[in-house]
């Protein structure tokens, strides 16, 4: 991934699309009492404004040709490992008649869904239903096409939903969903806490950031972070985690929530030296720190504070049953065996073998995704069932469980 200060000029169509979103943002700013909107609201509009936001409008692309790549796009072996973990839970909560379901949140291109279904079929553990909940109509269309192309005979198991199902037994999955949630951006300077807002500057004819004294709630949340810094310190927090986990908890009756994302424990997230925060943008595989540039055309994302995830999920009734880095999760779920199997599938094709080796490196090397990405397991079990965390079903966390770090 390359860092860049100057971005390639978007096409005229793309610019005109972005202008429409800027106008919607300006209208909201002008209608507000203070002539600004919070950064969090800006991020929400930039990513999810109906018909215009980055994830909604179809301007963005996941994968090699797009703005960023995710693990399921890099290698099917990633989803096979996830499938192996899912199979254990589906078997446990679904009983012999396979009554358990999978719900994938934010399913991207649909690659993980199709690879996962194919592997669950191999493992003889297909779910009763594979639900997908996504906020993007464009991506839903793409997911449907991908599953029709790669796993047509399993398409009938998939159902796209716009609300969380009731009484779900099984697995809820989210790869890189948490990092796509809008965050509050703040700056702490001694005793003072400021919230980042966005306003329209007539002078520069552009959206600009402004710091305003934080309201009492945000101020307290920032003070509770106990950041140690002698200089102004800018970072983010996600205030929606509690509400989000509450809705997941209401939906999941028994089973596992498995979330994979890039991020840190609380202590690492708010280190004194990380005083510019973790918010970044992706545009055509260039990383930049200009979230107000080209709204609607680039992804805006913040790292995940996994301690906050653990606390919010705990409060919502989940048990934090495992936490480890992606490389350990994949090793525990058989990445090496899957790699050997794949090599044996085409023993004479050196290009294919080289590509496979590259995929494994990207997924597991510490400097690539191996350590930057973490997996967290949150479980719930119904009365009479054994606690998932205390039996053998959480294979992905069997070794190198690092919950003590949270």
Ligand X SMILES: C[S@@+](CC[C@H](N)C(=O)[O-])C[C@H]1O[C@@H](n2cnc3c(N)ncnc32)[C@H](O)[C@@H]1O
Q: Using CB under 6 A, list all residues that contact ligand X.
A: 55, 62, 70, 72-73, 105-108, 133-136, 139, 175-177, 180-181
Task: For 25-67, list the strands marked E by DSSP.
Answer: 37-38
Nearer to ligand X by Cβ, of 71 and 222: the residue is 71
Nearer to ligand X by Cβ, of 302 and 335: the residue is 302
Nearest in space to 300 (alpha carbons), one of 196, 398, 205, 155 = 196
Q: Extract the tokens encoding 332.
A: 């525990």
Question: Alpha-carbon Rg of the chain, whole angstroms?
Answer: 22
Nearer to ligand X by Cβ, of 103 and 222: the residue is 103
- Least spacing, CB of residue 256 vs ligand X, in Å: 17
Nearest in space to 185 (alpha carbons), one of 44, 284, 27 = 44
CB-closest chain residue to ligand X: 106
Nearer to ligand X by Cβ, of 44 and 401: the residue is 44
* Residue 45 DSSP SS3: helix
Find the Cα–Cα–Cα–Cα dihedral 81, 369, 366, 364, rounded to 10°: 30
Nearer to ligand X by Cβ, of 60 and 381: the residue is 60
- Least spacing, CB of residue 59 vs ligand X, in Å: 13
Parallel, antiparallel or unpaired: strands 2-3 and 286-288: parallel
Main-chain dihedrals φ then ψ at residue 56, nearest 5 degrees? -100, -35
CA 114 vs CA 117, 131, 147: distances in Å: 5, 12, 5
Nearer to ligand X by Cβ, of 134 and 236: the residue is 134
Contact 104, 113 (CB under 8 A): yes
């Amino acid at each position: 991934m390359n860092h860049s200060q100057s971005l390639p000029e978007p096409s005229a169509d793309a610019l005109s699309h972005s202008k429409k979103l800027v106008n919607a943002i300006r209208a909201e700013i002008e209608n507000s009492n203070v002539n600004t909107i919070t950064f969090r609201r800006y991020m929400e509009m930039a990513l999810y404004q109906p018909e215009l936001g980055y994830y909604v409008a179809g301007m963005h692309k996941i994968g090699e040709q797009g703005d960023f790549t995710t693990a399921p796009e890099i290698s099917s072996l990633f989803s096979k490992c996830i499938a192996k973990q899912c199979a254990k839970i589906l078997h446990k909560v679904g009983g012999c008649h396979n009554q358990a379901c999978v719900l994938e949140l934010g399913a991207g291109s649909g690659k993980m869904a199709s690879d996962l279904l194919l592997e669950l079929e191999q493992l003889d553990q297909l779910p009763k239903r594979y639900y997908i909940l996504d906020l993007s109509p464009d991506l839903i269309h793409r997911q449907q096409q991908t599953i029709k192309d790669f796993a047509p005979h399993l398409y009938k198991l998939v159902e796209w939903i716009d609300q969380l199902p009731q009484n779900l037994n099984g697995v809820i999955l989210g790869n890189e969903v948490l990092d796509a949630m809008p965050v509050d951006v703040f700056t702490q300077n001694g005793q003072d806490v400021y919230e980042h807002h966005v306003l329209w500057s007539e002078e520069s004819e552009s959206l600009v950031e402004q710091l305003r004294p934080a309201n009492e709630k945000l101020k307290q949340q920032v003070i509770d972070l106990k950041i140690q810094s002698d200089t102004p310190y800018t970072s983010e927090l996600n205030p929606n985690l509690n509400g989000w986990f509450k809705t997941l908890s209401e939906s999941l009756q028994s089973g596992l929530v498995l979330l994979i994302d890039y991020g840190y424990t609380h202590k690492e997230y708010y280190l004194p030296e990380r005083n510019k925060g973790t918010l970044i943008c992706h545009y055509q595989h260039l990383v930049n720190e200009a979230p107000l540039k080209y709204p609607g055309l680039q992804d805006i994302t913040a790292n995940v504070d996994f301690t906050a995830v653990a606390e919010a999920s705990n409060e919502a009734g989940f048990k934090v049953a495992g936490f480890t880095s992606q490389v350990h999760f994949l090793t525990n779920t058989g990445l090496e065996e899957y790699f050997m199997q794949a090599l044996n599938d085409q023993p004479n094709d050196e290009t294919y073998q080289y590509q496979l080796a590259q995929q494994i490196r990207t997924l597991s090397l510490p400097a690539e995704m191996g350590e930057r990405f973490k997996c967290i397991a949150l479980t719930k079990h119904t009365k009479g069932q054994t606690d998932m965390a205390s039996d053998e079903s959480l294979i992905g966390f069997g070794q190198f469980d690092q919950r003590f770090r949270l």
